[in-house]
Structure 1
Amino acid sequence: MTMLKAAPFFPEIAEGPGNGASYWVETADGFRLRVGSWRVPGPEKGTILLFPGRTEYIEMHGRTAKAFANFGFSTIIIDWRGHGLSDRVIADPNTLHVDRFSDYQLDVAAMIATASELEMPKPWFLLGNSMGGCIGLRALLNGMPVSACAFTAPMWGLKMSKVQRLIARPVSWAAQAFGRGESYIPGHNGENYALSNPFEGNRITNDPDQYGYWVRQARLQPCLQTAGSSMRWLHQSLSECGRLTKARSPNVPCVAFCGDHDGLVDINAIRDRLNDWPDGRFEMISGAKHALLLETPRVRQRIISEIAAHFEGFGDG
């Protein structure tokens, strides 16, 4: 029986399986994080460790957890430091900031410990979305105990023009060096994306219902929301993506998806990685934008069913 302390959870906006719960956990460096879980009540095929993306939080993946529960998978998910109800890193609660990208691996360790304490059913599988894909790849390289993995629009590189790519690292480095690391990236601000951008022309999804799902959550529980990223986050992210580019792909069966209309991550970096991944497969989704797990029913059904089949194929560990 777990001794974890219960944390606030909002099932009415998550629309996940009926048995959702969340818990407070502490990292090795003293951050209090929130970890959530949905346990399948019947026969269990294992647990998906869902690593969410930048600005995301537990409730935002309630519908995804419900879809995987229909295939027999339980889900455990985390609010990264600076996200959701987890401790913020700097004074401005709207800014997504991290001191070192490796700090997220301390969050991973806390999540793994929680999954063990909750006795989440094995085998375990990784699903990394966007920034969670970057954190997840590093966790795999560090030996995270999963039988297979999947990624949706993983952030293994940021989409930039040639000019942006040329200046992003030195400018973000200089911002840190001169005490401006907590300032917003140019073009970012303290406004939540869903509340400040209409569905028309958004860069997240083609599905108005899924976009509305995020908007309703943002209006009903603004405490879960964040906004733009800091210059230090940008520099740390670029540096980590560069380091990962030089690392050999782990020997863990993998499938990855990306939309050909994704305007946030570097599609070539994803393709290159999967070309060099033992037992790896890459699928491009025509017409899809960045948030594949919030895309149209056709896209969501395809991706979730393929990931479930992929995990089932390696269920014996």
Structure 2
Amino acid sequence: MSDDTPLLIETDGNPVPGNHVTGWFDSVRGKRLRYAIFKSDVPVARGTVVLLQGRNECIEKYYETIRHFTGRGLWVATFDWRGQGLSDRLLKNPLRGHVRRFSDFEADLSTFLETIVLPEARLPFCLVAHSMGALVALSMAPKLANRIDRMVLTAPFVELSNQSAPKWLIRLVTRLMRMTGLGWVGSGLDKFPKPFADNPLTTDIGRFSRNQALYIAHPELRLGPPSMGWVNEMLNAIERVGKFEHLDQIKVPTLLIGAGNDTIVESQAIESLGNRFRAGRAIMINGARHELLQEADRYRIPALAAIDAFIPPDQASEPAIISG
């Protein structure tokens, strides 16, 4: 642990939740990652939500969601993945999203659970993960049975959507780029800031503008397009977690929540995956875009209601398919 305490950044309309502690932890390959634990004001906590972000996200983007969980009497433990937020970046160009090995993300999560969550947070531990974070959780799920009681995966990154080339070709090209030492090359142009019109993330202009303003004011938190190596590692992980032999090993009760109007992740793949392993089931928030927890209230509130009904374990019930 380093002695210097990392800051949580506050912007207009996005205040830092109170009653928190922050710090750094060291993960594999010498990377230092930022974490925060947000405590509920209730005398006896009902448990802890381990909150895992998606790609190009950071702790600050989830303040509103964190306040929702702490308001329910839960603590929230979260961190910035390697290569994003205020955690150590991986390339000379800090805006390029990258990972050398998908297993590095798994090591980050495992280290966080063992060195921060277990000694500092409150049982039971439940996991809420979005997009790329949900893919990491799904990949690690067979090893989480004795550490995590329940998992909720929002818009899990289990299949690419709306690609101009077939997945096998994307995987071949990105693999060749990695093999020739060009895995660091970007997969697209960095177009920022982006207009609200036709954005694939949310229908809520207020939350969209809040997140854009955060990255404009603090560009050190932002990422541009991912590297070819990142894309290849994600595709390999997607193929691996979809296999029956992997899904059959998952014992942690898992709720997958898909966004019905998601143009980043194929929503039908989420429904299919939820039907393919015994510990999992899927529901769909019809009409919602990819970032369910950043969506308009008509989508966000049903998503949170499904999560609240599923965690913590003593409050679990059966969520139904919810229309927007």
Contact 2:5 2:23 in 1 (8 A): yes
Match of 2:59 in 1: 58
> What SS does structure 2 have at the residue aligned with 1:125?
strand
Which shows bigger deviation, 106-115 or 153-162? 153-162
Match of 2:224 in 1: 227
Counterpart amino acid of residue 280 in structure 1: G
Q: Determine the C-alpha separation between the residues in 1 that align with 2:21 and 2:118.
A: 15
Contact 2:8 2:16 in 1 (8 A): no
What's the offset of the Cα at 1:315? Answer: 6.3
Which residue of the other structure, out of 188, 198, 202, is the alignment partner of 2:199? 202
Which shows bigger deviation, 55-64 or 215-224? 215-224
Which shows bigger deviation, 305-314 or 69-78? 305-314
Counterpart amino acid of residue 5 in structure 2: A
Where in structure 2 are there 5+ consecutive unaligned residues? 317-324
Match of 1:173 in 2: 175
Counterpart amino acid of residue 89 in structure 1: L
What's the offset of the Cα at 1:44? Answer: 1.4
What's the offset of the Cα at 1:72? Answer: 1.5
Q: Superposed, which structure 2 residues align to 1:262-281 within 5 Å? A: 262-281=262-281
> What SS does structure 1 have at the residue aligned with 2:134?
helix
Contact 2:155 2:256 in 1 (8 A): yes
What is the percentage of aligned positions where both structures have the same residue? Answer: 28
Deviations 1:75-114 (A, max 9, x none): 1111000010111111110000011111101111221111
- CA 1:111–1:315 in structure 2 vs 1: closer, same or farther (change >3 Å)? farther
Counterpart amino acid of residue 8 in structure 2: F
Match of 2:305 in 1: 305
Q: Superposed, which structure 2 residues align to 1:24-63 within 5 Å? A: 24-42=24-42, 43-63=44-64
Q: Determine the C-alpha separation between the residues in 1 that align with 2:106 and 2:3.
A: 20
What's the offset of the Cα at 1:48? Answer: 0.5
Compute the TM-score of the two structures, normalised by the length of structure 1: 0.92
Match of 2:238 in 1: 241
Match of 2:319 in 1: none
Q: Determine the C-alpha separation between the residues in 1 that align with 2:280 and 2:314.
A: 13
Q: Superposed, which structure 2 residues align to 1:46-125 within 5 Å? A: 46-112=47-113, 113-117=115-119, 119-125=120-126
Q: Determine the C-alpha separation between the residues in 2 that align with 1:106 and 1:11.
A: 29
Where in structure 1 are there 5+ consecutive unaligned residues? none
Q: Determine the C-alpha separation between the residues in 1 that align with 2:148 and 2:247.
A: 18
Which shows bigger deviation, 93-102 or 151-160? 151-160
Counterpart amino acid of residue 170 in structure 1: L
What's the offset of the Cα at 1:290? Answer: 0.4
What's the offset of the Cα at 1:266? Answer: 2.3
Deviations 1:133-187 (A, max 9, x none): 00011222223611111011001122244843231111111111222211111xx
Contact 2:40 2:74 in 1 (8 A): yes
What's the offset of the Cα at 1:252? Answer: 1.4
Contact 2:202 2:292 in 1 (8 A): yes
Match of 1:6 in 2: 5
